[in-house]
Amino acid sequence: MFIVLLVSGLLVVAAIQLFHWLQSRSTLPNLALHTRHVLVTGCDTGFGRRLVLRLDMMGCNVFAACLTESGSSDLAEKTSERVKTLLMDVTRDNDIVRALKVVEALLPEGEGLWAIVNNAGVFGPPGPAEMMTRKDFLGPLQVNLLGMTQVNRCFLPLVRRGQGRIVNTTSVVGRFALSPTPYVASKFAAVGYTDMLRRELSQQGITVHSIEPGAYNTNLLDDDTLHTALTTVFDAAPQHVQQVYGADYVPKMMSALSYMKRYMVSKNPEEVVDAYVHALTSQRPYLSYTVGANGLFFFWPLSLLPTRLADWLVSHLMSDQQP
């Protein structure tokens, strides 16, 4: 009897998942996409820039928020008149308010935003938590969490007017912690914020979605940038802490990061763009998207393990970096 109930339950769950998958394949009509407006942050490089280029090709109207003048002008040269670039540092409230006024002025009268895509993010310094200062934690938190919350807070009335959706970029390390600690802390917080925002807005006709990429070989994982950041963190640590980790800590850590990049980092960033596009165009998008082979087959399974077993696996993975 128990086996019959178990099999029946699994079949019901499988049927529900299949129904959800089939519904998610249904997309918005092309005509509707041409009349909708999307705000994307962090468009200078990486996923954000790729998403703007893709949406432009699809005929969508995009407000592309860039951090730098050079990023803004370069993107403007490569896109059509459907893309309006603007400058916005998500860590500055004045920048966000100024961008809001620009968007309000450019939107057709009475129309709102179809979506906000919070893509802006920073990696922060690598290294053990013991070496991290308050400033090291503030950098990722200011961009990856607080920048997201403030952009949503300011632009939410426009999304409500458009009965649209919010797409937040979190990370697989927001579900399963794996160094560096400031980045992980910011992403765990971003996942919690996204879950709460989704529940708060669920009765207002606004949906909230989480894009959770695995590790990708973007500018965030540039070898020279990581080496400089790691060396800076190590050199700034107290002498007694440096002695615990050893003088060869930096080269050993860089060797481990190089190994992980070679065998664990996904090579196709367009997978993340595909997830963004699905979240923006599907009539019933997923609430969360785990993206990339390492996310699906490494981070996500690890997140399901008992804590002690997961800790044991990670400690052995990082054993070469332990004192």
Q: Cite the active site residues.
A: 183
The per-residue b/e assignment along 213-225, b for 16 or more CB within 10 angstroms, e otherwise, is bbbbebebbeeee
Cis-peptide, bond into residue 180, ω within 30° of zero: yes
Give CA–CA dist 151/153, Å, rounded.
Answer: 5
Is the alpha carbon torsion for 237, 239, 245, 251 positive or negative? Answer: positive
Residue 132 near residue 139 (C-beta atoms within 8 A): no
> Residue 24: CB partners within 8 Å, gap ≥ 6?
278, 282, 283, 284, 285, 286
Q: Name the token pair of 271.
A: 């997978």
Q: Could you give the residue ranges of the DSSP H alpha helices within the chain?
A: 2-24, 30-34, 46-57, 69-77, 93-106, 134-140, 148-162, 181-201, 223-236, 239-245, 249-264, 270-281, 293-294, 300-304, 307-317
37: phi then psi, degrees, rounded to nearest 5: -125, 135
Measured over the CA atoms of residue 140, residue 191, residue 309 and residue 17, the dihedral's sign is negative
Which residue is listed with tokens 């300011």?
154
Locate 97 and state its tokens: 């308010």
Q: How far, in Å, CA of 315 to CA of 130, rounded?
A: 16
Check if the beta carbon of residue 70 is closer than 8 Å to that of residue 49. Answer: no
Q: Per residue, what are the HEC states of 263-287?
A: HHCECCCHHHHHHHHHHHHECCCCC
Report yes or no: 193 and 278 within 8 Å, Cβ to Cβ: no
